[in-house]
Chain A
Amino acid sequence: MKYIGFLLVFFVTLGLGITLSYQFGSVPPVGKLLDPNHGFWQNSYSEDMTFEEEIDLQNLSNTVSVFYDENLIPHIFAEDEKDLYRVQGYVTAKHRLWQMEFQTMAAAGRISEIVGPMAIELDRMTRRKGLAFAAETSLQYIQKEHPDTYELVEAYADGVNQYIESLSAADLPIEYKILDYKPETWSVYKSMLLLKYMADMLVGDRDLEYTNLRNQIGQEMLDKLYPDFPEDNDPVIEAERIWDFVPLEVSKPEGTGYLEADIFVNTMPQPVEGIGSNNWAVSGAKTKTGNPILANDPHLSLNLPSLWYVMQLSTSSHSVKGATLPGALGIISGFNQDIAWGVTNATRDTRDWYAIQFKDESRTEYLYDEVWVKSTFRIEEIKVKGQGSFMDTVVYSHYGPVVYDKNFRSDRKDVNFSLKWTAHMASNEQKTFLLLNKGKNHDDYINALNHYTSPAQNFVFASKDGDIAMKVQGRFPLKWEGQGKFLMDGKTPDFEWQGFIPNEHNPSTLNPVRGFVSSANQHSVDPSYPYYMFDHSFEHYRNRRLNSILEEMSQITTKDMMALQFDNFHLHAEEALPVMLGLLDATEVNQMDDFGKKYLSQLKKWNFNAFPNQEAPALFQVWWEKLHDGIWSKWKIEGRPIVLPNKYQTTKLLLNEPKSEIFDNPETPEKENASSLVKSSFYEMVETIKKIEETEKDYSWANFKKTSVLHLVPNFKSFSHINVYTGGGAGILNATSERNGASWRMVVEMGEQGSAFGIYPGGQSGNPGSKYYDNLLKKWANGEYIDVSLKFEDSFPNPLFKTVFKN
């Protein structure tokens, strides 16, 4: 009996000691988590309460000082670059370790290791896309060809690792504690992975969808509804630009034809609409002070910890400040004493698909140019938390990984689609940023850009000398007209890329007559550009709004530029709503109930702004979605992915051909036209909004779109901010939609007394327990900025605290 009593108590004790130290399923290790000496309570301290005045950092050549300003922005003052980046690694890790590791785990297809089997499908996708393969290729290339870059990235990694080694159990970021794992050693390879993560986030293609679409609606209709250039093309490089180079020749091999077969694969998710960005620069002639002003706001998924981390990085020869990506060296969007630069995504079809014909089921050989060529195999071991590894074999042709096959997103044996993507090729994007950081003039900027390949960006530029410039930079395949728009036949060399467009032929402009340069993810050029240029996702609204305003403006101040970044004018609504209202039958209007009449009158009075308190934007949004769906949903076939015409072409169609046969749905007995679909969608909208009004009592724009800034682990809802009160929307300069928006806004005035302002939706700290985790969010939502002008070591105003790094 005594034994039983003892054993009972002993096992309870053992249970408390051991069981509560481990994670079971999704239940975190409660004991470890609640232990106030090591658990989550220890993450309650903000950084200004726990700072160290002096830190020993090995391998430094000189002492490095870091001053933090009132927003926890670190200003690193080092003697040389190697010391600088070593400390950048340490400081970044100190505030963003969990995030930088998580993002590279995502890029490596290793999320299952952290969260378990629910992420296997995601990890397989990532690995089949070849992101890790791409990072390995770049790593080898940089090690061999750019030892100077490699050395600096290694110093950064060393800084990160020295921080990781210094971590006590109590200091571990909260996410590690909840998910019960520990940080690994950082490496140069991980920095490479981060850059591939960005490429993956920003680059998509719709080749397989277009292939289906072409078979479904025919080439003629495809050309009509999906033209390569829109009617109102307002390109990144001004249309007047004369191309002063002799283009490389490229011609379509004779007798080349596309495959006709329908494709039944469940294609991968694409970068969502709304991911994009604005940037522009105005010349001194248009500004009040006579200095150029540059602005940049990259729109990305709104997350916490914030994607960006602001820093000033100074050596004895240069001082640069702006937004960094935790895990990458230097400033990505920023400025120094002499130049400023910013980026927007320059979408272009740089991903192509090839159908591979294997000899037999072993898939060890495939047919190419009438001979059997050996394929290679890459065995992907996906470790899964709480269970055994998942093994996935990915076959590689000379094009790249066979992403879709009988084992992945297709059940047909004959499906073997190989992905060719510029991001797989050896490159050194890091060098571009290292060079831009210390650039002094336009030549330095062009030289820095020459190292940049993927994801292609529109690099805006302004300098103290008074230059403004824009260049569309990336490694762009040289293609014949129409090449790569659809699935290509991998058996014949006819479909091979013909080379690459030389950097000097990439579209660019310097000091254009109009006095400004700008980009907003629209077409890069006018049709006169001598190379074939195609992408599915070019934007049609922000660019025209931006350019029309910049055109009119003069005596510009930084305040004006901030206002423009926060501009809420809804150009699509301005163009589409009058057409929709015009198509709404007058007799119909009289028969509406009170709700319908109220909504209609709100729409008629609307000034086309999308401020958070306005109701009309929600009405328009729902009406438009229902209408778009009413027109095109008839084309959707389960399991056969296609892309639907965009809102720009749909609006054109409503305006120009309201009686067109296209509007009819042959499945229904009635004959639909634009007018009848506008009517039915209006009533659907009334029903939807009525319901919202009844349940939520509020259909104002902010409450309707519910802008949310989510923690990178979506389950951690209480670490997120749901329903942030702010205006804007997709296709609007202030591109804040539900989950995407300006992830960083920056306005820089060049000149002797240069000034700079920036803001982002979050805060410098990655710790949800810190007051610096989200202290900038509200300012961001209100369109306010903080001063991010360059600061100096000997006259640093009111530092929050200072840390000295010594060897």
Chain B
Amino acid sequence: MQRKSVGNILLLLLTLCVACMWAFPLYWAAVTSMKPEQEVISKTTFIPDVFNFSAYYFALFETNLATWYVNSLVTSITVTVVVILISVMCAYALSQIVFAGRRLLYGIILASFMVPSQALVVSQFVLMYRFGLINSWGGIILPQLIVPVVVIVYKQFFDSVPKELREAAKLDGCGDFQILFRLYLPLNWGITTALAIITYIMAWNAFLWPFLVTNSEEMMTVTVGITQVDDAFGVKYARDMAVAILAAMPVALAYLLFQKRVTQALMLSSGIKG
């Protein structure tokens, strides 16, 4: 037993070491952002000599970060709301209503799961150009609205709601829209939160599409915009790190507040029941 517990302690120490190393770049970014530029390049200090927030001041007031924030918030919240709404309705119909072509539609949605959206950027760009949506919120939002996995997960959850519930509601004179929004959606509120948060994080983090569809700095999202900062101002690492941290804040907070939900959503979308 003695040998075992020594082994356990060693393993624990090893785990802690690896975890600290893994998280070190994040710590280093945070520390760097709170140093004056002079200290950043003159010596290696793990805790700043003086805490200095001029990099944050710069990031907030002398870059377009505020504009990018607005663009990111508007586009990723719209994407989230629309994705959830159109997917939940589609999934409810697929799960609860018998209609011609239902199996075909579900088959197509399942198959779409495999299509890499990155391969579609050229033709999507041509389409958005036709619509006159280059450099606009609409152009950023539209191609992100189809997330097949949200429909698939919702359908699976609706399939497992007892049929009697819907029949009882029908007898009380409820229509399907009422049943969906008053009964099925509240019943599956947990999964809705999970899917909404992960959709929001994915939309906030999207890089390739927003990068292609915006070229004026005023229309960029945070994820694309922050890559412009060093181009415009030369390399200043405290500033870069402050910008990076501010850019990551909305998703980092969403994750830290809703850890369980994020985990659940990721498990579900990869086919493991969480």
The answer to whether A and B come from one shared complex is no
